[in-house]
């Protein structure tokens, strides 16, 4: 029995290592490179579901529903940066331009809560005591005062609801704009699990060939569809002239040396870091999103 459990455990560990190695290979091949998109994609982390090897890889009625609900963040013909590739049990996420709005840390809610105006202590006392006032004049005066309190609260509630409605509209506009700026993703779904042959650059490109043009990526020195060859890595001493957007942080470090300083922050779910590289005659400020170079400045010292 112990041998059986040991075999099962060993199999799970081996599968986990293989998946991790495959994900790292996909990340190095795709992340930081540009691709051309052949269909509109929704501004949501739900993205586009693709079921490779089936008669209908994309459920286009569902696709149209997501476009209508979330707007179009990526349009046909757009050139997009691959920002993340992640392997899970039964899917491969192929994220573009941030992966879509609505992931953990993104505020996708548009409603604004407005509590009702509270009763003052004087209003509460009047409600409690008015039934015991026997004098008609005093009772009428107390009722008029109580009615005024209620009218004031009603006006305050109406004003708060109007302000909340305006704030909700502003949030809706902000969320719509953020959706249009946060990219989208392809979800390559397999049943019951992602096969080994799908966890390769060749497998991913074949699964997405109808929806993604990989010519910009391949034309940048990447291998052909079957993965022969590799991009020439920048060499130490090439200097800032060799910098280009899409480089991985380790390639920039190899090119410019150890950074003098590093600062990090979170933008929603994305990890953003800034590295400063200095030498005798120049200073380079480089900004990375999830380890991918997105902008840089070079200045003389």
Query: Taking residues 204-211, what's their average pLDDT?
Result: 95
First to last CA, the chain: 69
Please give the Cα distance from 57 to 279 (Å, whole number).
52
In degrees, rounded to 5, the angle at the alpha carbon of residue 98 between the alpha carbons of residues 252 and 40 is 130
The string of pLDDT tens digits covering residues 172-188 is: 777 677 878 889 999 99
Q: Give the least confident one: 32-46, 58-72, 124-138, 209-223.
A: 209-223
CATH topology of domain 240-300: Beta-lactamase Inhibitory Protein; Chain:B, domain 1 (3.30.1450)
How many CB atoms are located within 10 Å of the residue 274 CB?
16
Question: Could you tell me the pLDDT band of residue 169, with boundaries at 50, 70 and 90?
Answer: confident
Beta-carbon contacts of residue 225 (< 8 Å; ≥ 6 apart): 202, 205, 206, 214, 218
pLDDT of residue 89: 93
**In the predicted structure, residue 106 carries a pLDDT above the cut 50:** yes
Query: Residue written as tokens 């040396």?
Result: 257
Average pLDDT of the chain is 82
CB 163 within 8 A of CB 17: no
Structure tokens at 151: 């009218």
The string of pLDDT tens digits covering residues 16-49 is: 445 556 899 999 999 999 999 999 999 999 999 9
Rg (CA), the chain: 29
- In degrees rounded to 5, what are phi and psi of residue 264? -130, 150
**In the predicted structure, residue 274 carries a pLDDT above the cut 60:** yes
Higher pLDDT, 117 or 175: 117
CA distances from 109 to 65, 70, 160, 161 (A): 19, 13, 19, 17
Structure tokens at 209: 């060939």
pLDDT of residue 218: 65
CB 266 within 8 A of CB 227: no
For the chain, where do the domains classified as CATH 3.30.1450.10 start and end?
240-300
Beta-carbon contacts of residue 31 (< 8 Å; ≥ 6 apart): 82, 83, 84, 85, 248, 290, 291, 292
For the chain, give the longest Cα–Cα distance: 100
Please give the Cα distance from 300 to 282 (Å, whole number).
4
pLDDT of residue 272: 84
Question: Could you tell me the pLDDT band of residue 8, with boundaries at 50, 70 and 90?
Answer: very low
Look up residue 43 and give its DSSP letter: S
CB 73 within 8 A of CB 180: yes
Query: Taking residues 250-272, what's their average pLDDT?
Result: 84
Question: Could you tell me the pLDDT band of residue 3, with boundaries at 50, 70 and 90?
Answer: very low
């Amino acid at each position: 029995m112990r041998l059986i459990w040991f075999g099962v455990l060993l199999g799970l560990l081996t599968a986990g290592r293989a998946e991790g190695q495959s994900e790292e290979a996909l990340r190095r091949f795709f992340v930081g490179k540009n691709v051309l998109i052949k269909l509109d994609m929704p501004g949501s982390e739900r993205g586009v579901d693709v079921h490779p090897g089936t008669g209908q890889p994309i459920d286009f009625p569902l696709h149209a529903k997501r476009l209508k609900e979330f707007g179009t963040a990526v349009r046909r013909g757009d050139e997009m940066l691959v920002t993340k590739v992640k392997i899970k049990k039964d899917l491969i996420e192929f994220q573009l331009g941030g992966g879509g709005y609505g992931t953990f840390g993104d505020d996708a809610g548009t409603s604004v809560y407005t509590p009702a105006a509270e009763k003052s202590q004087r209003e509460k006392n009047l409600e409690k005591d008015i039934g015991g006032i026997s004098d008609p004049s005093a009772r009428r005066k107390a009722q008029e005062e109580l009615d005024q309190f209620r009218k004031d609260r009603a006006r305050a509630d109406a004003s708060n609801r109007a302000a909340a409605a305006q704030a909700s509209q502003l949030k809706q506009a902000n969320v719509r704009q953020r959706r249009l700026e946060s990219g989208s993703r392809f979800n390559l779904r397999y049943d019951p699990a992602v096969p080994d042959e799908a966890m390769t650059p060749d497998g991913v490109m074949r699964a997405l060939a109808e929806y993604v043009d990989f010519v910009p990526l391949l034309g940048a020195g990447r291998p052909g569809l079957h993965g022969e060859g590799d991009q020439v890595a920048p060499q130490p001493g090439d200097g800032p002239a060799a910098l280009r957007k899409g480089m991985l942080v380790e390639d920039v470090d190899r090119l410019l040396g150890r950074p003098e300083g590093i600062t990090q922050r979170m933008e929603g779910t994305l990890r953003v870091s800034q590295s400063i590289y200095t030498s005798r005659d120049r200073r380079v400020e480089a900004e990375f999103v999830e380890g991918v170079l997105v902008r840089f400045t070079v200045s003389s010292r």
